[in-house]
Amino acid sequence: AQTVTQSQPEMSVQEAETVTLSCTYDTSESDYYLFWYKQPPSRQMILVIRQEAYKQQNATENRFSVNFQKAAKSFSLKISDSQLGDAAMYFCAYRTAYNAGNMLTFGGGTRLMVKP
């Protein structure tokens, strides 16, 4: 079974600065998908960014980018020019590519605080 680990329970960043959230995963599969979800205080889960394991290029979405290291099984999220609205819980998630169930395995989350 796959596992996803987020080793930083809490992180803080100054507004306008850059922060990196860590995520590692354990799998024996070669094809899979990785996601970062944001959960603000409203508790809604919002997709931030996704990465296909077969792609070497790191995904980017505006101020959000990932550093995907397949050999190291690492998938970190970088948030540039941090804004107060970025304060939330961030969850890393793994999905296998080998079945149609699309089930996600989530990490335990990192709480990001943004200081004005």
Distance separating alpha carbons of residues 31 and 2, to the nearest angstrom: 13
Q: Of the ranges 19-27, 68-76, 77-85, 105-113, which one interacts with another protein (CB under 8 A)? A: 105-113
Binding letters toward another protein, positions 78-97, x by CB under 8 A: -------------x-----x
Tokens of 31: 């094809």
C-alpha distance from residue 76 to each of 39, 91, 104 (Å)? 17, 11, 17
CA 57 centroid distance within chain: 16
Q: Which is nearer to another protein, 35 or 68 (CB)?
A: 35
- Applying CB under 8 A, among 21, 25, 68, 109 the residue interacting with another protein is 109
Pairing outcome for strands 24-26 and 60-61: unpaired
- Applying CB under 8 A, among 31, 69, 81, 113 the residue interacting with another protein is 31
Number of residues that bind another protein (CB under 8 A): 26
The residue ranges that bind another protein (CB under 8 A) are: 4, 9, 31, 33, 35, 42-47, 50, 52, 91, 97-104, 106-109
